[in-house]
Amino acid sequence: MTFDDFNCLNRRDLIQTGALLGAGIALAQPLPLLAQSGALSDVRAAALAGKDTAIKRIRDWIALPSIAAENLNMPEGAAYFAGLARDAGFTDVEIIPTDGHPGVFGKIDVGAPRTLGLYFMYDVKQFTPAEWSSPPLEGRLVERKGLGTTMVGRGSANHKGPEATFLSALHAIRAAGRTLPVNLVLICEGEEEIGSPNFRQLVTTPRVLAALRSCDGVFMPTTMQGLEGNAAVELGAKGIIELELIASGNKWGRGPKNDIHSSLKAIVDSPVWRLVQALQTLVTPDGNTPAIEGWFENVRPLTEREKSLITQAISPVTEGQMKDAFGITHWIDDLPFPDALIRLAQAPTVNIEGLVAGHTGPGGMTILPNRAVAKLDFRLVPNQTRAEAVQKLRAHLDKQGFADVEMKVSGGYDPTETDENSRLIRTAMATYRKLGIRPDLTVRLAGSWPGGTFTQPPVSVPVGRFGLGTGGYAHAPDEYLLIESTNPKVAGLVDSVMAYAEFLYTLAAID
């Protein structure tokens, strides 16, 4: 989920390109130097020999869409991934039920001194085929100017492509006749794209929890390179809550119980306006700052070290690139660019994803709707928690006189933080440097992933994301993953496979 331009941003991968929440914009060494000789030359030979199979592995997985939001192919998706895990060498692979969609658990125990945890997801976002230039389930190879040959398909970048690439590294190590240098513990969920509502239940299953607590850390395979070749090393991510607020005549006791003619607005209350009024209380009049009572009381401001990492990352061309990509001319409050980036990392948010009420088709229908729904997401920063935020939101609505406005929380989790001196982070930094890649230490992903489930009790281990290569348009049409790179600074598939192999061997050796 690293993207080639800022149009590719999604809710977990905001501002990946250029490592804008971190330090050290610099050119990487050309990738032809990467891992072509040395201790893992036999693994590289195996990765090259298995390249076609690796491409097919990604394409075949894309062909089976598991979409949690639509309850589409979820048991099939878990079973398919379980097969991929077994094929890659995992033993004791088990599909574990939850109160929602199932997860997959497996291990590889080679008796090594160190154990690495792996976080995978098998669900993907929804898609509308008519919006794609290439069929979203075919995984076609498509040339992309300035990058090379890409595979286009839902899940290619987010997140089946990087995960299948990591599995290909395990295949290459085994094909080279080697034993893995570390033990592996795998946990894969099917609800990441709906806010991981049952992930904690999965992680705290006794046999899963016992295995995870033995890990030196947990990492998520991800394409982390920008177009200049540098790779981000994240120290955290914002948390998230996804929910709906619903106003209805039935619940309110005012307004119609069914849609009625709009002429009656002269004498009948409107649940839609009721919801609009409730939404207005959540933020300041400009819509930019949460106004929920007590929302900021536990927010931890950025440290001077963290602010320094952000400002060191700013390049002369970055602001213009971002504005052009977003189609904007100003930041909030006309902030200077450094202040805008600090706010991006530091500020919790209240965002309206969508509003649904009454007639939404062509033309007018002159009705007074009986029900209105707002889909919202809330980004959380340290030291906020999901539980605290949900409680405060409900208390705020009640205090403001909107006790009738329903809250339906669909998912979410706490923010993530990992010590930059942890072995996992040092391994990522060391691996990138070993491969001639400039690592950019970043403060916090402005998007979200459920790493906090691992960093908090009862697991309490470091987390991170790692990987070479690039992709884009996650959550959007024409999502893609780079396969054959024409950019000498950015890894294609084989170099990405080798990066994961190098990471495992570095983790085994680092102090």
- The model's confidence at residue 226, banded by pLDDT at 50, 70 and 90, is confident
Q: Residue ranges of the alpha helices (H) in 9-145? A: 41-49, 51-62, 74-87
Residues 217 and 250 in one domain: no
Model confidence at 365: pLDDT above 90: yes
Residue 317: the pLDDT is: 63
- The model's confidence at residue 12, banded by pLDDT at 50, 70 and 90, is very low
CB 202 within 8 A of CB 96: yes
Residue corresponding to tokens 């949690």: 68
Strands 439-442 and 183-189, by their bridges, are unpaired
Model confidence at 8: pLDDT above 50: no
Residues 247 and 376 in one domain: yes
CB 153 within 8 A of CB 140: yes
- The model's confidence at residue 322, banded by pLDDT at 50, 70 and 90, is confident
Residues 252 and 232 in one domain: no
Residues 130 and 162 in one domain: yes
Least confident of 10-19, 36-45, 216-225, 255-264: 10-19
**Whole-angstrom Cα distance, residue 421 to residue 442?**
13
Residue corresponding to tokens 């200049």: 228
Q: Which of 374, 392, 413 is the last residue of a domain?
A: 413
Residues 20 and 46 in one domain: yes
Model confidence at 410: pLDDT above 70: yes
Residue 29: the pLDDT is: 41
Residues 120 and 148 in one domain: yes
CATH number for the domain that contains residue 281: 3.30.70.360
- SS3 state of residue 291: coil
Residue range 444-450: mean pLDDT, rounded: 92
**Whole-angstrom Cα distance, residue 132 to residue 312?**
38
Residues 354 and 403 in one domain: yes
Residue 341 falls inside a structural domain: no
Give the pLDDT confidence of 100-118 residue by residue, as tens digits. 999 999 999 999 999 999 9
Model confidence at 9: pLDDT above 70: no
Residue 31: the pLDDT is: 52
CB 31 within 8 A of CB 230: no
Residue 38: the pLDDT is: 67
**Whole-angstrom Cα distance, residue 44 to residue 305?**
39
Residue 325: the pLDDT is: 76
Closest residue by Cα to residue 291 from 354, 335, 345, 350:
350
Model confidence at 501: pLDDT above 80: yes
Residue 11: the pLDDT is: 32
Model confidence at 158: pLDDT above 80: yes
Give yes or no for a cis peptide into 30 (omega within 30° of 0).
no
Residue 317 falls inside a structural domain: no
Residue 34: the pLDDT is: 55
Residue 326: the pLDDT is: 84
Residue 27: the pLDDT is: 35
Q: Which of 375, 392, 413 is the last residue of a domain?
A: 413
Give the pLDDT confidence of 265-314 residue by residue, as tens digits. 999 999 999 999 999 999 999 999 999 999 999 999 999 999 998 888 77
- The model's confidence at residue 199, banded by pLDDT at 50, 70 and 90, is very high
Model confidence at 15: pLDDT above 80: no
Residues 365 and 474 in one domain: no
Residue 228: the pLDDT is: 83
- The domain tally of the chain equals 2
Give the pLDDT confidence of 61-82 residue by residue, as tens digits. 999 999 999 999 999 999 999 9
* Full domain range(s) for residue 271: 239-299+348-413
**Whole-angstrom Cα distance, residue 118 to residue 425?**
14
Model confidence at 380: pLDDT above 80: yes
Residue 14: the pLDDT is: 38
Model confidence at 488: pLDDT above 70: yes
State CA 407 to chain mean position distance: 24
In sequence order, the 6+-apart residues with CB closer than 8 A to the CB of 507 are 114, 116, 181, 182, 216, 423, 424, 427
Residues 48 and 95 in one domain: yes
Residue 314: the pLDDT is: 78
Residues 187 and 134 in one domain: yes
The Cβ of residue 387 has, within 10 Å, a number of other Cβ atoms equal to 11
Average pLDDT, the chain: 91
Residues 103 and 43 in one domain: yes
Beta strands in 158-238 (DSSP E): 183-189, 217-221, 231-234, 236-237
pTM of the complete model: 0.88
- The model's confidence at residue 201, banded by pLDDT at 50, 70 and 90, is very high
Residues 261 and 112 in one domain: no
Q: Which of 413, 433, 465 is the last residue of a domain?
A: 413
Residue 3: the pLDDT is: 30
Measured between its terminal Cα atoms, the distance across the chain in Å is: 29
Model confidence at 33: pLDDT above 60: no
- The model's confidence at residue 36, banded by pLDDT at 50, 70 and 90, is low
In one letter, which amino acid is 397?
Answer: L
State the DSSP H helix or E strand holding residue 23, giving kind and residue range, or none if neither.
none
